[in-house]
Amino acid sequence: MTQQLAIELCKQAIYTTLLISAPMLIAGLVVGVVVSILQAVTQIHEMTLTFIPKILAVVIVMIMTLPWIMNLMISYTQDLFSMMSGLK
């Protein structure tokens, strides 16, 4: 294995990880900002009010994007195994 191939594999792994986690992170961010604005407007500072909507949003987005995530992970794994067969 050459140094360039190792760098390319790491780069592809990081890119795939970011791509898989992005929808859930964005949903958590958006819900967090909306809840924070609502808390600032109403002056209700309940701690559970911030966590429960975020968790629900992340779970809903995860369920909705699960087929896409699985296709992406399967494609990455197949590419990885096809590269490994050519290495000696």
pLDDT, residue 64, reads: 96
Mean pLDDT, rounded, of the chain: 90
pLDDT digits (tens, 9 = 90+) for 67-87: 999 999 999 999 888 888 777
pLDDT, residue 3, reads: 86
Tokens (6 digits) for 83: 């590269």
Range of the domain at 52: 3-85
- Threshold 0.75, pTM exceeds: yes
pLDDT, residue 88, reads: 62
CA angle centred on 67, ends 71 and 10, rounded to 5°:
40
Confidence of residue 63 (pLDDT cuts 50, 70, 90): very high
Q: Structural domain tally of the chain?
A: 1
Q: What amino acid occupies position 18?
A: L
d(CA 51, CA 32): 8
pLDDT, residue 12, reads: 92
